[in-house]
């Protein structure tokens, strides 16, 4: 699947899983098994022979991204329009959601004929959160825009006199006779992905964090053939942006249960010993140095757009990278002529995290945290470099090969 097509289709974690399945169905061989759990997906390709020194080559990413989720009872009305009240998911950059064309999509759960069923939806209408005009907020350019997430992010969706409640619009998506029971619907940036920069060297899109990593892993996994003795695993978790401690997240039993199932009946060594000798790539996005805010970066560890894959390190272990996994990553890059650079957060700023520490701790697998450098992380519209995405695909392809 083309990169932009993947970005444009993956508007919720559920849609991301569907796009991944389409990509895998078109390219993967029969010796690959897929395990799905809501907005999470794990693909496992078994080797030709499972033996005592078999290892797992695991690439990790997450399917979710900061967004505004429609609340169960979202409806409001003021000034002649009907509004939808959202709940904040993750840590979006609030101001970036203003004056944008917003789509809505998600998963509906309903009853029909006494059976519980689900349906993936993507509405064809556009909503908006208009910003207050400068004439009514005279100091905004001097004092900065302050957004109250409770009162300032209600989305305008229709005029008074239209549908009474948003749930009626969702109900209309269902078959005749169905009864809507629940929904998980969120807003998303409706503008398609596109090239940017004078030489088309950049990519502008919503959800690059972390769909870029998902795409790189999927492309590399789909292109790889089976190995003689090592398992190849592509794991895409949900709910990283809110801590991963859900049944679909990296903090669940999902990956371990899949790996145990893959070894079942093989009669070879125990899982923990195999994992200790294996390697996981935790692939998430990285902060590129911002040309207008260079003071926000640690000067000797400031990755740049187009500079290659980023090795992410943190002494407080917010990243799983350690001397052992770092060395294996660097060797892999050097053997395949893949450029890489290193990120360390300033000591006077808190550091984010990934699924890497969670998986490394729970499975006991050496893990290295890496990513593509980007700008505008957690904005509704983000920015990366074409060359870095190509480098990441080459890296994961070499890892699986």
Q: How many domains does the chain have?
A: 2
pLDDT at 261: 92
Q: Average pLDDT in the 355-367 region? A: 97
Residue 198, domain member (yes or no): no
How many other β-carbons are positioned within 10 Å of the β-carbon of residue 373? 25
Of 17, 35, 19, residue with least CA distance to 184: 17
Question: Which residue segment(s) compose the domain that 221 sits in?
Answer: 3-65+206-400
Give the model confidence (pLDDT) of 316-329 as tens digits: 999 999 999 999 99
Residues 340, 228, single domain; the answer is: yes
pLDDT of 379 > 80? The answer is: yes
Residues 386, 237, single domain; the answer is: yes
Residue 196, domain member (yes or no): no
Side-chain-side CA neighbours of 343 within 13 Å: the count stands at: 31
Residues 160, 219, single domain; the answer is: no
pLDDT at 23: 94
Q: Which distant-in-sequence residues (6+ apart) come within 8 Å of 224 by Cβ? A: 45, 232, 397, 400, 401
Residues 31, 159, single domain; the answer is: no
- What confidence category does residue 1 fall into, taking pLDDT thresholds of 50, 70 and 90? confident
Give the model confidence (pLDDT) of 159-209 as tens digits: 987 677 999 999 999 999 999 999 999 999 999 999 999 999 999 999 999
Q: Which residues pair with 60 in a beta bridge?
A: 235, 282
pLDDT of 130 > 90? The answer is: yes
Which CATH number do you get for residue 132? Answer: 2.30.250.10
Regarding pTM above 0.85, the answer is yes
Residue 44, domain member (yes or no): yes
pLDDT of 259 > 70? The answer is: yes
Residue 195, domain member (yes or no): no
Residues 259, 275, single domain; the answer is: yes
Give the model confidence (pLDDT) of 383-399 as tens digits: 999 999 999 999 999 99
Residues 228, 372, single domain; the answer is: yes
Q: Average pLDDT in the 2-10 region? A: 97
How do beta strands 340-344 and 309-313 pair?
Answer: parallel
Whether residue 40 contacts residue 236, with contact meaning beta carbons closer than 8 Å, is answered with: yes
Residues 121, 81, single domain; the answer is: yes
Residues 164, 247, single domain; the answer is: no
Residue 280, domain member (yes or no): yes
Residue 222, domain member (yes or no): yes
Residue that finishes a domain, picked among 159, 189, 219: 189
Give the model confidence (pLDDT) of 56-93 as tens digits: 999 999 999 999 999 999 999 999 999 999 999 999 99
Residues 227, 293, single domain; the answer is: yes
Give the model confidence (pLDDT) of 23-66 as tens digits: 999 888 778 999 999 999 999 999 999 988 899 999 999 999 99
Residue 244, domain member (yes or no): yes
Residues 390, 287, single domain; the answer is: yes
Which CATH number do you get for residue 49? Answer: 3.40.630.10
pLDDT at 160: 84
pLDDT at 71: 98
Cα–Cα distance, 352 to 153 (Å, whole number): 25
Residues 7, 106, single domain; the answer is: no
Calculate the average pLDDT of the chain: 96
Q: Which distant-in-sequence residues (6+ apart) come within 8 Å of 296 by Cβ? A: 290, 346, 349
Of 327, 228, 325, 337, residue with least CA distance to 282: 325
Residues 129, 244, single domain; the answer is: no
Residue 194, domain member (yes or no): no
């Amino acid at each position: 699947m083309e990169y932009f097509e993947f970005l444009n289709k993956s508007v919720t974690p559920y849609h991301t899983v569907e796009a991944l399945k389409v990509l895998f169905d078109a390219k993967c061989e029969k010796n690959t098994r897929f395990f799905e759990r809501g907005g999470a997906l794990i693909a496992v390709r078994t080797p030709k022979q499972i033996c005592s020194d078999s290892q797992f080559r695991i690439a990790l990413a997450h399917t979710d991204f900061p967004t505004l989720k429609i609340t169960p009872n979202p409806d409001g009305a003021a000034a002649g329009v009907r509004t939808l009240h959202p709940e904040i998911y993750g840590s979006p950059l609030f101001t970036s959601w203003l004056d944008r064309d917003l789509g809505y999509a998600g998963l509906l759960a309903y009853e029909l004929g006494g059976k519980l069923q689900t349906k993936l939806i993507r509405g064809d209408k556009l909503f908006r959160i208009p910003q207050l005009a400068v004439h009514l907020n005279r100091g905004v350019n001097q004092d900065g825009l302050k957004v109250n997430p409770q009162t300032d992010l209600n989305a305008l969706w229709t005029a008074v006199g239209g549908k009474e409640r948003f749930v009626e619009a969702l109900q209309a998506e269902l078959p005749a006779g169905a009864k809507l029971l629940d929904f998980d619907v969120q807003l998303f940036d409706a503008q398609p992905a596109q090239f940017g920069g004078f030489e088309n060297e950049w990519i502008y899109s919503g959800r690059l964090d972390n769909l870029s990593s998902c795409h790189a892993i999927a492309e590399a996994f789909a292109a790889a053939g089976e190995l003689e003795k090592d398992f190849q695993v592509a794991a895409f978790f949900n709910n990283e942006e809110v801590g991963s401690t859900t049944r679909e997240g990296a903090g669940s039993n999902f990956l371990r249960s899949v790996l145990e199932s893959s070894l079942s009946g093989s009669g070879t060594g125990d899982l923990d010993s195999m994992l200790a000798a294996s390697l996981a790539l935790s692939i998430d996005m990285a902060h590129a140095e911002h040309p207008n805010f260079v003071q926000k970066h640690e000067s000797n560890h400031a990755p740049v757009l187009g500079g290659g894959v980023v090795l992410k390190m943190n002494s407080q272990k917010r990243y799983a990278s350690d001397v052992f996994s770092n060395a294996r990553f660097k060797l892999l890059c050097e053997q395949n002529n893949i450029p890489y650079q290193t990120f360390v957060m300033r000591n006077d700023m808190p550091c984010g995290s990934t699924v890497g520490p969670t998986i490394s701790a729970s499975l006991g697998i050496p893990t290295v945290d890496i990513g593509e450098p980007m700008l505008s992380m957690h904005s509704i519209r983000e920015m990366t470099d074409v060359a870095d995405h190509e480098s990441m695909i080459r890296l994961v392809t070499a890892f699986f090969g």
